[in-house]
Chains A and B, each alone.
Chain A
Amino acid sequence: MKGYRKYFLNKLGWFSVTLVAAFLLNFILPRLMPGDPVAAIVARLAQGMSDATGVQAIYQQYSDLFGTNKPMHEQFFLYVRNVARGDFGFSFSQYPRTVADVIASSIWWTLILQLPAILVGWLIGNFLGALAAYRKGIFDKILMPFSIFASGLPAFGMAIVLLVVLGVNLGWFPTSGGYGFDMIPNRSWDFLWSAFVHYQLPFWSIVLIIIGGQAIGMRSMAIYELNADYVKYARFMGIKDRKILRYVFRNAMLPQITGLALSIGTMVGGALVAETIFSYPGLGSTILTAVKGGDYPLISATALIITLMVLITTFIIEMLYGFIDPRIKAAQSED
């Protein structure tokens, strides 16, 4: 365990530094965008006002409220202090809603859509890839081109095809919304079923593409492992394939887990395409509207959440890696 502490501390150090830098960037980047969002809000409010002083007064009020008239570093400290308290401020584009409110109402939908989709896609993709590597033959020959095709298809292409073919033309699935257009959210089985049915198309549009990518990756890794010396040796020894395979696939999965961690980390902002095409509720389209509307607090807050999630998941995975694969720990502590 000796080298472990050094590894751990090293990782933790970089984690913290990255966190601070990312935080800073999350704050600065949106504010570099052109356009003055306060002016936009004020312009909306001041419609019909014909005297300039009235408009100016309102502009002053809102600048004070949002703190945009202070110099950048002051704004930053204010921001840090507020975030520590959990106050992300008001959303510019959806004033008077608070950022926390906006995010809270849509984040669950994104999570439900993304997390299972990533997990299921990952599982099925890796399983198929491993199977193809093991069995070879016809199965492999069919799977490979299909996976290459599926992983190369743009996400919106898949989404549009599913929407038009299954939703509009065949009418098997609903075409928009998170739940039935005539339903009010409540805890009934009808509602859950409706939400489930509306879930299908966005879900599968994401999963199918992930399957393609994962299958290819896993197949390569699995083939590589299957040709390793220890496998040949174990086979010669007469050990059953089933036992060997367990070890093979555990080894082959390691790089895939990093990928999984990254996917989970970025999933909060990731379902943008599916949300837009299927009119599915969620954070992705909120981010897009925020960007187009120059809504700094909302952009900063969502980017912060994504940043935190990626950092945390990456950190956890790297820690686990250190446990699982001692070679990595050694390589790191070598420098």
Chain B
Amino acid sequence: MLSKKWAWFALIVFVGSILLSACEGETVEVEVTTVVKETVIEKETVIEKETVIEKETVIEKETVIEKETVIEVVEVTPVVEEDPTTLPRDETMYFNGLQWGSVSCWNPYSQNCNNAMAIVQGANARVPMFESPYLYNMLDGQQYPLLADGPYEWNDAHTEITFKLKAAAKWSDGTPVTAEDVAYTWASHVKYNTGVGSGNAAYIDAIEAVDDLTVVIKAKLNDEGQAVNPLIVGSYASSNYVLQKAWTQALEERTGEDATEFMADTAEDVVYSGPYHQFFADDQKVVLVRDDNYWGQDASMWGELPTPKYLAHTIFKDNVAGSIALAQGEVDVSQQFNSDIQVLWLNYGLPVSTYLPEAPYGIGASLPTAFYNLNSNGLDQVAVRKAIAMAVDYPTIIANAMTNQSATFDQVPRSLMNPTPGEQAMYDHDAVADLQWAGNDIEGAKALLDAAGIVDSDGDGWREYNGEKLSYIATCPNGWSDWQAAIEVVAAAGKEIGIDITTNFPEWAVYQTIVTKSDAPLPEGYDIFMMWSNGAGPTEPWGRIRNMLSSEWVGMASNWNGNWGQYSNPDVDALIQAIPNESDPDALKEIYTELVRIYLSDIPSFTLMYRPDLFHAVNESVWTNFPHQDDGTDPPVPPMVCVDGWSIACLYNVTLVSQ
């Protein structure tokens, strides 16, 4: 019968396809190695010599040590652990929200690997596989030594940093981590003009190895003999990896020292110093496995191995799938924006929790900001800029767009600093209190516009400036849901005060190309646009302020740093320049306060909400003892999904729930 044949055919096709798709099966080869063992046998022979000298017998004892080397050839069959086909649940920690596509490569020199579990350098470097000398802790602002031994020290002239490396630090191939590795890594970054190299070349002159374990970072000096930017120099060691010189040289050889090839190499054979390395990667998941020979179990560092044997990250198509998995316990640590996450434990009683038990649930660290295109009609007027910024309903943005995962502007009045206590203490609140508007002030905004003479003269319901109706397009990339919701609220505010603001959401690929082109005025359609700011880091808040306000980015063809609205104020530039070399805390506070004052008066952009650097939610159905507020750890472990900066200490603290 026709249907039967079809059914068999379908069945065969089905089964065959599944078998074929499982083609990535690994065959485990058992290698029998021969080990040459040298045994040295020492034989001590004592020879007594009797000599008769003038009727006295002198006995001389001579000890002769004979060494015999016995060479044994022994066959060692290593105990082969069969690669498991199922990752044991009680030895694996699952992540989500970091990796959104398949891994392209394992090359730490490349910016393009899309390898979120292993290669992320920056203020909070990700250290499961590759390690930096120091780890930054966003909770207390300190840098803790990892590969380094003890804190780093500036010289008296404040132009050089010296630090030592731990003697116990080793690469995965057993060779020790030396200062030469650090120096060679930097030299390679510069030579091949990698992202790290070009980003730091203006501030770091050289990195040298004084001896095997001592590293000196020499800052670039300005005309007065001062370091151009000691802040950045001081943050280098906690932001960038140390890579093995020997491996780098091998890479250089096989790519013929060509920069493009060098950075495009997939580097499957990379040598690492961290506790985890690649185990499996395909379209569906990335798995890192622990190296039980990790040097960090030495008493000089952690004293033990990290608890989970496998770190696995399932690649989900979108946030929703990831949230479902979190709710079902298939994900332990979640870095995505889980909207209304409190519903999971309030309504469903699931063992899900965040760092803080109540709103804002996490530690805000960055300031997503709405930038003004200062060349648009009317946006060159402070009154218009301030009116729009005042009229926006921020409580609604925070409640609806961020589902309360942000501090409100009543709790943390707006400034240039993030909500962490460290940064909040760096400016004088009282001095700028009258400039810190709370938002949702429709009447105040209208009054401001009326006072500036920007009124509706032709009765169409919209105000005009210079004869032209005030009409703007507020925009952010399509698909970034919390930003889109926020922009909608901004647009709604415009209607209340008589300014026509509509929204538009171009694709990210288009948006970024336009916004980052700072060598020409922004085109139409980008009057009010949203972009991110720096989060927490050793150079903050200076780095964030520089990126938001400095005019050094204006004129760049590919500007990924900031100030996309192309604001230019020489006073601001001067203040920003002054900070890195200023060491007096009072003077610093004055400078920062002045910057906040200028920012809140000129309003080239305005903050829409506070956002954590990384979201951090955990499901405690398998693992427990994750970082949470008042968990008693000292130094406090930050909620950076257990892999960034000092947060990696979490991997050593977690335990299984059943214990």
A residues at B contact (CB < 8 Å) = 34-37, 39-52, 54-56, 61, 65, 94-97, 105-106, 108-109, 111-112, 115-116, 119-120, 123, 127, 167-168, 171, 175-188, 190-192, 195-196, 275-276, 278-279, 281, 285, 289, 292-294
Set of chain A residues within 8 Å of B198, measured between Cβ atoms = 48-51, 54
Q: Which residue in chain B gives the minimum CB-CB distance to A181?
A: B330
Set of chain B residues within 8 Å of A47, measured between Cβ atoms = 111, 195, 199, 560
Set of chain B residues within 8 Å of A182, measured between Cβ atoms = 86-89, 92, 312
Q: Which of B507-552 contact A (CB under 8 A)?
A: 507-510, 512-513, 516, 519, 552
Question: Hey, what's the 0/1 contact readout for B7-30 against A, CB within 8 Å counting as 1?
Answer: 101100110011111101110000
Q: Which of B299-358 contact A (CB under 8 A)?
A: 312, 314, 316-318, 321, 324-325, 327-328, 330
Contact B558 A52 (CB under 8 A): yes
Bound: A55/B327 CA distance, A: 44
Contact B283 A105 (CB under 8 A): yes
Bound: A108/B512 CA distance, A: 34
Decide yes or no whether B284 CB sits under 8 A from chain A: yes
Given contacts A47-B195, A119-B6, 12 further A-B contacts (CB under 8 A): A43-B558, A47-B199, A48-B561, A52-B557, A55-B557, A105-B282, A179-B284, A181-B285, A181-B330, A184-B86, A192-B19, A276-B317
Contact A192 B18 (CB under 8 A): yes
Bound: A187/B24 CA distance, A: 9
Main secondary structure of the interface of B (DSSP, over half): mixed
Bound: A43/B564 CA distance, A: 14
> Which of B7, B85, B195, B552 has a CB less than 8 Å from the CB of A186?
B85
Query: Which of B7, B312, B324, B512 is packed against the most chain A CB atoms within 10 Å?
Result: B324
B residues at A contact (CB < 8 Å) = 3, 6-7, 9-10, 13-14, 17-22, 24-26, 83-89, 92, 94, 101-102, 104-105, 111-112, 114, 193, 195-196, 198-199, 202, 260, 263-264, 266, 280, 282-285, 287, 312, 314, 316-318, 321, 324-325, 327-328, 330, 479, 507-510, 512-513, 516, 519, 552, 556-558, 560-561
Closest-CB distance, A175 to chain B (whole angstroms): 5
Residue contacts A-B, CB under 8 angstroms, 18 given: A40-B512, A43-B516, A44-B111, A49-B199, A50-B202, A61-B260, A105-B282, A116-B14, A171-B328, A176-B314, A182-B86, A184-B84, A185-B21, A185-B282, A188-B85, A190-B86, A276-B318, A279-B321
Q: A96-B105, A116-B10, A175-B328 are contacts. A292–B509 as well, Cβ < 8 Å?
A: yes
Main secondary structure of the interface of A (DSSP, over half): helix
Bound: A275/B13 CA distance, A: 20
Closest-CB distance, B436 to chain A (whole angstroms): 32
Closest-CB distance, A168 to chain B (whole angstroms): 6
Closest-CB distance, B194 to chain A (whole angstroms): 9
Bound: A178/B24 CA distance, A: 14
> Which of B87, B114, B317, B560 has a CB less than 8 Å from the CB of A279?
B317
> Which of A45, A123, A183 has a CB less than 8 Å from the CB of B6?
A123
Bound: A4/B282 CA distance, A: 50
Contact A36 B325 (CB under 8 A): no
Set of chain B residues within 8 Å of A185, measured between Cβ atoms = 21-22, 24-25, 282
> Which of B85, B94, B104, B195 has a CB less than 8 Å from the CB of A184?
B85
Q: Which residue in chain A gives the minimum CB-CB distance to B7?
A: A123
Q: A279-B321, A281-B283, A294-B509 are contacts. A44–B112 as well, Cβ < 8 Å?
A: yes
Bound: A177/B263 CA distance, A: 32
> Which of A36, A105, A196 has a CB less than 8 Å from the CB of B513?
A36
Closest-CB distance, A37 to chain B (whole angstroms): 7
Bound: A127/B4 CA distance, A: 12
Set of chain A residues within 8 Å of B3, measured between Cβ atoms = 123, 127
Q: Which residue in chain B gives the minimum CB-CB distance to A276?
A: B317
Bound: A115/B11 CA distance, A: 10
Set of chain B residues within 8 Å of A65, measured between Cβ atoms = 260
> Which of B24, B195, B312 has a CB less than 8 Å from the CB of A45?
B195
The list of the 5 closest CB pairs from A to B, nearest first, reads: A48-B199, A279-B321, A112-B17, A108-B21, A35-B510
Q: Which residue in chain A gives the minimum CB-CB distance to B513?
A: A39
Set of chain B residues within 8 Å of A55, measured between Cβ atoms = 557-558
Contact A175 B22 (CB under 8 A): no
Q: A45-B195, A61-B260, A94-B101 are contacts. A176–B25 as well, Cβ < 8 Å?
A: no
> Which of A94, A109, A119, A168 has a CB less than 8 Å from the CB of B114?
A94
Contact B102 A97 (CB under 8 A): yes
Set of chain B residues within 8 Å of A196, measured between Cβ atoms = 18
Closest-CB distance, B554 to chain A (whole angstroms): 12
Contact B195 A178 (CB under 8 A): no
Contact A43 B513 (CB under 8 A): yes
Contact A175 B283 (CB under 8 A): no
> Which of A42, A106, A192 has a CB less than 8 Å from the CB of B22?
A192
Contact A45 B112 (CB under 8 A): yes
Q: Which residue in chain A gives the minimum CB-CB distance to B11?
A: A116
> Which of A45, A180, A192 has a CB less than 8 Å from the CB of B111?
A45
Q: Which residue in chain A gives the minimum CB-CB distance to B519?
A: A52
Bound: A263/B92 CA distance, A: 42
Closest-CB distance, B577 to chain A (whole angstroms): 15
Bound: A69/B114 CA distance, A: 26
Bound: A263/B255 CA distance, A: 47
Q: A45-B195, A49-B195, A281-B283 are contacts. A187–B17 as well, Cβ < 8 Å?
A: no
> Which of B6, B21, B519, B558 has a CB less than 8 Å from the CB of A109?
B21
Contact B509 A37 (CB under 8 A): yes
Closest-CB distance, A105 to chain B (whole angstroms): 5
Contact B266 A96 (CB under 8 A): yes
Q: A105-B282, A116-B13 are contacts. A35–B101 as well, Cβ < 8 Å?
A: no
Bound: A69/B104 CA distance, A: 25
> Which of A108, A175, A179 has a CB less than 8 Å from the CB of B321?
A175
Set of chain A residues within 8 Å of B21, measured between Cβ atoms = 108-109, 112, 185, 195
Set of chain A residues within 8 Å of B312, measured between Cβ atoms = 181-182
Q: Which residue in chain B gives the minimum CB-CB distance to A282?
A: B283
Bound: A43/B510 CA distance, A: 12
Bound: A65/B263 CA distance, A: 14
Q: Which residue in chain B gives the minimum CB-CB distance to A47?
A: B560
Set of chain A residues within 8 Å of B86, measured between Cβ atoms = 180, 182-184, 190
Set of chain B residues within 8 Å of A183, measured between Cβ atoms = 85-87
Bound: A236/B330 CA distance, A: 66
Set of chain B residues within 8 Å of A97, measured between Cβ atoms = 102, 104
Contact B13 A115 (CB under 8 A): yes
Set of chain A residues within 8 Å of B507, measured between Cβ atoms = 35, 292
Closest-CB distance, A183 to chain B (whole angstroms): 5
Closest-CB distance, B197 to chain A (whole angstroms): 9
Set of chain A residues within 8 Å of B19, measured between Cβ atoms = 187, 192
Bound: A96/B18 CA distance, A: 27
Set of chain B residues within 8 Å of A176, measured between Cβ atoms = 314, 316, 321, 324-325
Contact B321 A293 (CB under 8 A): no
Contact A34 B7 (CB under 8 A): no
Q: A112-B14, A116-B14 are contacts. A42–B558 as well, Cβ < 8 Å?
A: yes
Query: Which of A49, A52, A192, A285 is packed against the most chain B CB atoms within 10 Å?
Result: A49
Closest-CB distance, A203 to chain B (whole angstroms): 10
Closest-CB distance, A286 to chain B (whole angstroms): 9
Closest-CB distance, A281 to chain B (whole angstroms): 5
Set of chain B residues within 8 Å of A292, measured between Cβ atoms = 479, 507-509
